[in-house]
Amino acid sequence: MARGMGLFLFGGIGMIVYGLYSLSQAGEGRFMDERFTGSLLLFIGLCWLVGPVLSAVSKTRRQAKERRLFSTGVQASAVVESVEQTSVRINRLPMVRVNLRVQAPDRPPFTHSQRLITLMHALPHPGDVVQVAYDPSNPADLVVKRREGFDASMGVVWDVRRPEVVSEAAEVKPAPHDDDDAERLARLERLRASGELSDAEFNEAKERLA
């Protein structure tokens, strides 16, 4: 993504420089047809510069919002109820509308719809579980936990938990022997280390062993 933004920036600067040169030639009364070419290149160059800047600003604001809500908001699990396809694609990435059912401890559940632009193979499916955080005074102000290191250009990849992985953790029950508890705890540690369980899911399953 950084490489692509660099190409846009350098390309934009090059177009602006050449556009200004073309306009200067037209201004001297020579190559009058350069006026249109210079203006066009100048416009395209500015667009190429503004695009990456706006994208970077949007990403920074989104990350700041995620940090704020996961630090001060209510954290909860959400189940994907449905995924609605749209005809929109941005940078060849599909845009979908994901309908979530959010359930936080000791709070009434609610539904939330959110647009998602992501890689085709990273699209969530009904029944998948994601971690979310929201403002308790405004539940519509909600963010979904992303998978770190998997930002796509103009999109994100959610940290999705498949139903079978969540079920495996939820079915861990206290055992009468310490050896069985140790084995179950080791299995939970492996699931967390592999990224298949979040910290919240790990702690919840671990409490069942206490």
Tokens 């979530």 map to which residue? 100
How high is the pLDDT of residue 144?
95
How high is the pLDDT of residue 17?
65
How high is the pLDDT of residue 175?
45
**173 three-state secondary structure:** coil
* CA distances, 7 to each of 12, 43, 141, 191 (Å): 8, 17, 34, 39
pTM as predicted = 0.57
How high is the pLDDT of residue 184?
73
How high is the pLDDT of residue 27?
54
How high is the pLDDT of residue 183?
74
How high is the pLDDT of residue 181?
67
How high is the pLDDT of residue 193?
75
The secondary element (H helix, E strand) that includes residue 138 is: strand 138-144
Q: What angle do CA 132, 138, 139 make, to 5 degrees?
A: 35
- The CA radius of gyration of the chain, in Å to the nearest whole number, is 25
Collect the ranges in the chain with pLDDT lower than 50.
Answer: 1-2, 4, 29, 32, 172-179
Q: What are phi and psi of 102, to 5 degrees?
A: -100, 130
The secondary element (H helix, E strand) that includes residue 117 is: strand 110-117
How high is the pLDDT of residue 34?
58
| Cα distance between residue 50 and residue 15, in whole Å | 13
CB proximity list for 51: less than 8 A, separation 6 or greater = 8
Tokens of 42: 């100048």
